[in-house]
Structure 1
Amino acid sequence: MKKGIHPEYKEITVVMSDGTEFTTRSTMNTKEGVYKSEVDSKNHPFYNQNKKIQKKAGRIDRFNKRYNKNK
């Protein structure tokens, strides 16, 4: 590997939205070595079965767009 061209690889602490923490290594520039995640598998609709609500909203939006029923 060439010297001086690679980013610094250091340990960071990842804090999930529910407060759980784990330590990993990353090249990410973080404040004080801590990355706070706002979205993870516990609160994202894709992972917690809210897909049906999103699909229904999409169908309603398509209907309103197609028939110009904006309210």
Structure 2
Amino acid sequence: MKKEIHPKYKKMIINCACGNIINIFSTLNKKNLNVDVCFKCHPFYTGKQRVISQGGRIEQFNKKFSIV
């Protein structure tokens, strides 16, 4: 196996806009990373997700013109 071909694996701190701090290891050459959403504030993970079911074009046409 060749030596010195793999990237360095360093500790990294992720700061979320909600104030959550996550410590991970990564191959990125950054010490800190700022994100807008994380698993503690994202609607999918918190259960506050809205379900939008609009249907396709045919369903919308049938609903609009009352054709069943």
Per the normalisation by structure 2, the TM-score is: 0.62
Query: How far apart, in 1, do the equivalents of 2:22 and 2:5 lie?
Result: 28
Counterpart amino acid of residue 62 in structure 1: G
Query: Unpaired segments of 5 or more residues in structure 2?
Result: none
Q: How many residues of Structure 1 are paired with residues of Structure 2 in the alignment?
A: 61
Aligned to 1:50, the other structure's residue is in SS state: coil
Q: Which residue of 1 aligns with 2:24?
A: 24
CA RMSD, Structure 1 to Structure 2 (Å): 2.2
Query: How far apart, in 2, do the equivalents of 1:43 and 1:21 lie?
Result: 12
Q: Which of 26, 41, 48 is the aligned partner of 2:46?
A: 48
Name the larger-Rg structure.
2
Mapped pair 1:62 → 2:55 = yes
Per the normalisation by structure 1, the TM-score is: 0.61
Larger helix percent: 1
Query: How far apart, in 2, do the equivalents of 1:62 and 1:25 lie?
Result: 42
Query: Unpaired segments of 5 or more residues in structure 1?
Result: none
Q: Which residue of 1 aligns with 2:12?
A: 12
Identity %: 31
Query: How far apart, in 1, do the equivalents of 2:20 and 2:38 lie?
Result: 11
